[in-house]
Structure formats: structure tokens, C-alpha cells
Amino acid sequence: MHISEAEWRIEKEWLEKVLKEARRQLDENRALKERIKQDGIETQREMWQDIGSVAKDNGLDQLVDFMQLINTMKIQKSSHEFTKKLEEKYEKILLSPYFGRMDFVEDGEENAEKCYIGISNLITEDYEFLVYDWRAPISSMYYEREIGDASYECPEGTIHGKLTLKRHYKIYNGKIEYMFDSSLKIDDEILQDILGRSTDSKMKTIVTTIQREQNRVIRNEEYKNLIVQGPAGSGKTSVALHRVAYLLYKHRDTIKPENIVIFSPNDIFNDYISNVLPELGEENMFQTTFKEYMHTSLGNAVTKESYSEMMEYILDSKNKKTYQRRINNIKFKSSVEFINILKRYVSYLEKEYSRFTDIIIKDKIIIPSKDIEELFYKDYAQLPLKRRLQKIKNRILYLIEPYEKELVEEVSKEMNDSDSSMNQAENMKHSAAVVRNKMKDVYDAIHQMTEFDLIEIYKNLFEKLELFSEGLINHSTEINLEEIKKYTLENLQAGVLYYEDQSPLLYLKGVLGDLPETSNIKYVIIDEAQDYTPLQYEIFYQLFKSANMTILGDLNQSINPYMNVGDYENIAHIFPKEDTCRIDLTKSYRSTMEIARFTSRLLNKEATHEWIERSGDKPIIIGYSDEEEINKRLVEDIEKYKEKGYKSIGIITRTVKEAKEVYNFLKDKTNVHAILKDDDEYISGTVVIPSYLAKGLEFDVALIYNAGDEHYNCEEERLLLYTACTRALHVLCIYYSGELTPLLREAVDMETVFLS
Ligand SMILES: Nc1ncnc2c1ncn2[C@@H]1O[C@H](COP(=O)(O)OP(=O)(O)OP(=O)(O)O)[C@@H](O)[C@H]1O
């Protein structure tokens, strides 16, 4: 809708007013910051003076003065931090104070209130809201409502009224670049503008163009758990991070960044998303990966296979003799049946734990085994195994203490009688050592009874696997229990801990009560949720029972064919219906229409989602006789796309091995980096990266390296290829040698440029 000159003038005047107020507050804040700094220097000076006069005789008084000074310094430090943060906020406001406006006439009022919406609130001393934070209750209408009747929820209840105007702005460096009105949703024009740009940086905020369905996820607090399913590029990660910002704003008195944890697929991704919250004026929540948590919790006693090592094995060892054995093992350990086996085993351990022996000192039974059993099965029965054993140990130590003391006295007396040259202290020390030695068998017995070795416990499960799997495994399936048992025991014996064995171990550690408390965590965000197994969800639940969970994933992007959630139904028992809301995002924003249509055909099933109407080049598929030809073409294409102005180019290979080869070829010919490990940092520009590490990331140009039938040669890898192709924003180019993988045949049509 056209905006008149008069209206432009009014808008410019308003912007001036807002900027003037922001400048005033910034100056005021700077002055305050300076004052706090000076006060801090003064406190430090006072402290040094006092230290100069430290004297023994001043006693407690001087200590009290010191403590007071230290407290004052602490307060000054945090006030200084606070003013620094405010300064950053005002500086941001001065560049772009708001991006939207809506005029709202509340029922019963005559005039509309002009509500300007920006990254943060700007409120005058007279309590006039010049700008509303995008997370304020009233701002929800900006994302949710159209012109006409509208309402929003706030602590006082539901406020009804009418929206009479919705306006969008682009303000850059304190100047309005453009503005326009739209009566409906946030206009596709702005989205087109934002999405059409080239990107060379980490993930950005989407606050100016959050869509209605996304807003519903961001602000949803009705349910304890949210499961969000959305296609590639539908904004799941963006939504997750904006939700964190929303929660930090809404519950700022009770929720701090350290009360929220996000589980990301790897450290590259963690790095990639790390700018979003700071751009929104918030500190980052605790970012981790399941692998990191698992590896820290399991300790360093055994060598653990990493996730990438397992992926490389799955993708690159098909010709090995042991391949099928290993795959069966992975499948079995990721199955729902195996969870039930583990559960049976845990209840067996709790009921049948029979290691208790009498505690005997000097041929006398001090604590009979039946008393210890009673502690275990009755007194401490409600506690998890590890805690029970710890309590029993403490109890035994307490009960044997008098006997030990008596023994020490006896020995001490004997020594006194035989050697009078020793002084009392030496005598006691020596006697204690003698008794400790005499009691070695007792301590060994206590240790035997009360310590458990997790690996031994896990081995024990496989030694008696038939016992716990009875009736749970459908024997007509391909699972050969005897084979699994043999394979697992062989590997554990050899000190090999495969990735698929680590989650079961962690699960056992957790249920047996040997994991630290995480009760300070109030919200858990699980991104790329499709790639966790049902057992890993059991572990999440164990760890964060009382926390609110937001689980975001895309079942079509399960990069590991054997280790994934399968279906959200598989975790329905963990997240019961009454506590859980499932939301489906239906629109994809990342790729051009041509790429989105191509990738949805690659899925080989009817597309259930839409994509943004943004047009670009057709996807290109180019065939060569061998990889050397592909490499040469890659060099040319990288230069070509760089010249066209694309800033991020991802050369996506199937495996790390392939990525290394391609990188070695390219590195002397063009400016290129490689991301090869899951704990690498995110690098922008031109990068070579294996498919499974590229998940979650995006590139202006995605160049898929060798989709020949010898590479992507089985149906199980369809979703991996899909995930790789969906990384493209503007250009998708697929190279292959020999024959094209059959997985792509359905995807090729008139809209694809096919060169062979
Ligand atoms: N409302 C929006 N406005 C502007 N850009 C958006 C919006 N929603 C998503 N995007 C953009 O779409 C791209 C994909 O977003 P994001 O990575 O969050 O999606 P995703 O669903 O997590 O993707 P994937 O599952 O493929 O990893 C990003 O560039 C993001 O900025």
C-alpha cells in the first residue's frame, strides 16, 4: 500500500523522537557506567590502603571491613556489567530501533495506540512505550493477527480490540530504507528480500519475519513438552533459539541462561548458532552435544568410538566381512526391544543383587550378611542401586569403626611395651598402618559388595541375554541373539566400546543412580531430534525429568539409517499426550522453489509441505567418467560461483575420507577450508564437509560431490543425500561419475539441468 508524503514525514519525526530518547538514555547510562567505574577504583584504593595497615592486633574488625569491601566490589562489578549490556542494547537501538508497527484500538477506547516493535523495549521516564520488545505480550499480535478484530493474552487476562494498521520497516543506520503496509501476514516481499541474500556468516535472527506457525512454537507454554516436526529449512533451529530468547524475557526473574540447555548434533553446529541469542540481546544458553555429555559421564577408562567413526564405518565399510554383523548389532542396540531388555535387567539387578557376605573381624562375625541384605532390600529399597550401595558402605564403615579403634589401641599398647623409643604420635601412626594392613580383607570385602563396575554389569547382561529377552524378541526377525551376545562380549573383552554400546551403558549408569543431578535445568531443547534413538530419549527423560522439553526434528533427515528415532510414536510413552503438544511446521524457507521441488521429489513420496515462492536457477546434475574430471570441474565452478557473488559454498561429500581427498585436491587451487571432525569450529566461505556433519548448516551454493551409483548405492542412504541437497539456499549442483545413483532418478525432471 502506498504511503503518502505526509505519512513519511510523521514516520521520520517519530523515528527522530525514538532515536533522541535512545541517545539520551545511552548518555545517561554511559555516565552511570563511568560513575560505577570510578567508585570501583575508589573501593580498590581503599582496600590497598587497608591492606597496608594490616596488623595482627586489629583482629576481627579489620577482617569484617575487608569482607565489606569485597562485597562492595562484587556489587560494583555486576552493576558495571549491567551498564555495559545496556550500552550494547542502546547502540543496537540507534542503528535499528524497530521493524514493525501495529495500531491497536482496545475495546472501550476511542483512539488507536501506535505500537512500534523492535528487538528491545524503549520506555521513557513517563512510562511511554516508544518501542515494544518483540517478546512483549502485545507484540504477539504482530506475528499472529491480521487487520480487524484481534486480541492478546497478558497477565491481566485477554485484551480484545481491533488492529487498524500493520506496517513494516527496514531501518538501517538510523534511517528508514523502506516501509510498507500489509493487511495480512508479514509480507512475502520482506521474506524474499531476506532469503534472497547471500550468506557468509553464522546463523542470523529471524525476528523481523517470524511466521505465524513459528510464533506458536516460540510462545507455546501450555504444554510441558513440545514436539516440533518440520521439513528441511522450515526454521526449526531458528524457532528453538527465538523460543529461548522468549523464555528468558518472559521469566527473567526466575530463568537464567544456565537453566536452559540445548543439545545440538555437533560442535560445528553449536558454533554456527552461537550468534543468534547475543544478536537478540541475550546470553547464550548452555550448549552441548549428546556425545559430549555421554563421553564425559562414561569417563576415560575405556576407549570410546566417536559418532563420526561409527558413521564412517557405516558408510565406508560395506565390503568388510564383519559389516553385516556390526550393522545387526547397531540395529539391535537401537531398537525398542533392547530398551525393554535393559529395563528387565535393571529390575533383576535391583531384586537379585546377591553379593553380600558376613563382615568378620578377628574371626568374629561383626555384621552378618543377612543384616546387610535387609538394609539393601528393605531399609534402602527405594533408592537406586548405586545410592543404596553407598549408604550400605557408610553404614558398614560406621559399624566397624569401634572395632578398628580397639585394634589400634591393642597394637599401640603392644608396641609401647616392646619399643619405648617411639613417641606417642609415631606410635599411633604406626599402629594405624598395622591395623589397616590387618583389615585389608575386610576392606576388600566391603569394596566387593558396594562398588560396581559398569562394564562388568553390562557384560553380565549379555552373558545372560536369553534370560532377559525371553518373550521380547520376535524370533522370525533377523535378530540373532546368540550372534549379538558373542559379538558384544568379544568386543567388550577386547576393550572396544562401540558407539552403539555407549547409550545403553549411560542408561544403566543413570538408572542405577550414578549420574549427577541436573535439577537446575528447567528447559531442554533437542534439535535434529530425528537422530536420537528411543533409548537416548529414555536417557534425556531420566536426566531432565522435571524440565520442559522442546524437541525439534525432521524424520526425513535421519542421516543414520540404523540409529534414529524411527517415529515419534516410539517415544510417545516418555512424553504422554496430556503433557505434550505436537506441532507440524509446514513451510520451508531456505531453498529456492526449484531446489525445494527437486529435493522433495528426491524423497520419493508425496510432499506434504510448501515452500516460499522464491525463484532461482534450476538444480544441475553433471555426469563424468571419473572423479578426476569432477575435481577439475569443481575448481571451475567454485570460481564461477564466487565471481557471481556467492559467499558460502559447501562441497558436500559422502564421507570424511572423501572430504579429505577432495580437500587435498582443491587446497592448492582455490581458497578452501575443510570441516572434518564433529568438534571442529564452523568456518564460513568455501568449505569441504562430509554430509553427516553438514546437517543443520546451509550454503548459498551446495555442490554435492559424487552422487554416482557406486557411492550412494542403497535405499538406506536416500535421507542422507536428501539432507545434503537441502543445505542449498540458491544453487544446487550435483556431480557424479559413472552412472547416476538410482536414488536421484525420480527427482530429475524438466526443472533439472541434466548434463552427462
Ligand atoms: N520466518 C523466517 N524469516 C526469515 N528467514 C527464515 C524464517 N524461518 C526460517 N528462515 C530461514 O530459513 C533457513 C532455515 O532455517 P533453519 O535452519 O532454522 O531451519 P531448520 O528447519 O532447522 O532446517 P534443517 O532441518 O534443514 O536443519 C535459515 O536461513 C533461516 O534464517
Q: Give DSSP secondary structure letters for 266-322.
A: -HHHHHHTTTHHHHTT----EEEEHHHHHHHHH-SSSEE--HHHHHHHHHH-TTSTT
> With a 6 A CB cut-off, is 235 part of the ligand 1 pocket?
yes
Q: Does residue 388 form part of some domain?
A: yes
Q: Does residue 443 form part of some domain?
A: yes
Question: What's at 275, amino acid-wise?
Answer: N
> CA–CA separation, 245 vs 256, rounded Å?
10
CA dihedral 269, 217, 615, 205 (to 10 degrees): -50
List residues bridging with 100 in a β-sheet. Answer: 117, 168
Q: Which pLDDT score, from 0 to 100, does residue 362 have?
A: 83
Phi-psi region of 527 (alpha: psi -120 to 50; beta: other; left: phi over 0): beta
- Residue closest to 619 by CA, chosen among 751, 736, 709, 739: 751
245 is in an annotated binding site: no
> With a 6 A CB cut-off, is 264 part of the ligand 1 pocket?
no
Q: Which pLDDT score, from 0 to 100, does residue 10 have?
A: 96
Q: Whose CA is nearest to atom 19 of ligand 1?
A: 235
By CB neighbour count within 10 A (0-12 exposed, 13-18 middle, 19+ buried), where does 570 fall?
A: middle
> CA–CA separation, 116 vs 682, rounded Å?
36
Ligand 1 atom with minimal separation from the 553 CA: 25
Domain, as residue range, for 67? 5-95
> With a 6 A CB cut-off, is 696 part of the ligand 1 pocket?
yes
Q: Does residue 224 form part of some domain?
A: no
Q: Which pLDDT score, from 0 to 100, does residue 34 have?
A: 94
> CA–CA separation, 448 vs 418, rounded Å?
36
Phi-psi region of 566 (alpha: psi -120 to 50; beta: other; left: phi over 0): left
> CA–CA separation, 489 vs 464, rounded Å?
11
> CA–CA separation, 316 vs 643, rounded Å?
35
Q: What are phi and psi of 120, to 5 degrees?
A: -145, 165
Boundary residue ending a domain (40, 74, 95): 95
Q: What is the DSSP letter of 690?
A: E
> With a 6 A CB cut-off, is 234 part of the ligand 1 pocket?
yes
Q: What are phi and psi of 156, to 5 degrees?
A: -80, -10
Q: Does residue 599 form part of some domain?
A: yes
Q: Whose CA is nearest to atom 5 of ligand 1?
A: 206
> CA–CA separation, 232 vs 287, rounded Å?
22
- C-beta neighbour count of 87 within 10 angstroms: 16
> With a 6 A CB cut-off, is 211 part of the ligand 1 pocket?
yes
> CA–CA separation, 219 vs 213, rounded Å?
10
Q: Does residue 749 form part of some domain?
A: yes
- Residue closest to 496 by CA, chosen among 457, 465, 455: 455
> CA–CA separation, 646 vs 202, rounded Å?
15
Boundary residue ending a domain (450, 479, 508): 450
Question: What's at 488, amino acid-wise?
Answer: T
> With a 6 A CB cut-off, is 194 part of the ligand 1 pocket?
yes
Q: Does residue 100 form part of some domain?
A: no
Ligand 1 atom with minimal separation from the 585 CA: 21
> With a 6 A CB cut-off, is 726 part of the ligand 1 pocket?
yes
Boundary residue ending a domain (95, 122, 141): 95
> With a 6 A CB cut-off, is 132 part of the ligand 1 pocket?
no
ipTM above 0.90, yes or no: yes
Q: Whose CA is nearest to atom 9 of ligand 1?
A: 235
Ligand 1 center to 336 CA (angstroms): 32
> With a 6 A CB cut-off, is 229 part of the ligand 1 pocket?
no
Cα dihedral sign, 179-181-185-188 = negative
Q: Does residue 423 form part of some domain?
A: yes
Q: Which pLDDT score, from 0 to 100, does residue 57 have?
A: 67
Sheet holding 260-264, edge to edge: 286-289, 260-264, 523-526, 548-553, 225-229, 580-584
Q: Which pLDDT score, from 0 to 100, does residue 328 have?
A: 93
> With a 6 A CB cut-off, is 614 part of the ligand 1 pocket?
no
233 is in an annotated binding site: yes
Ligand 1 center to 596 CA (angstroms): 13
> CA–CA separation, 276 vs 280, rounded Å?
6
Ligand 1 atom with minimal separation from the 527 CA: 22
> With a 6 A CB cut-off, is 590 part of the ligand 1 pocket?
yes
CA–CA–CA angle 591, 592, 593 (5° rounding):
115
Q: Does residue 726 form part of some domain?
A: yes
234 is in an annotated binding site: yes
230 is in an annotated binding site: yes
> With a 6 A CB cut-off, is 228 part of the ligand 1 pocket?
no
Ligand 1 center to 192 CA (angstroms): 13
> CA–CA separation, 261 vs 525, rounded Å?
6
Residues of the chain scoring pLDDT < 70: 1, 51-58, 183-187, 200, 419-420, 473-478, 756
- The total number of structural domains in the chain stands at 3
Ligand 1 center to 692 CA (angstroms): 18
Q: What is the DSSP letter of 522?
A: -
Mutate to test the pocket of ligand 1, among 198, 206, 551 (most ligand atoms within 8 A of CB): 206
Q: Whose CA is nearest to atom 16 of ligand 1?
A: 235
Ligand 1 center to 444 CA (angstroms): 59
Ligand 1 center to 232 CA (angstroms): 8
Ligand 1 center to 696 CA (angstroms): 9
> With a 6 A CB cut-off, is 208 part of the ligand 1 pocket?
no
> With a 6 A CB cut-off, is 553 part of the ligand 1 pocket?
no
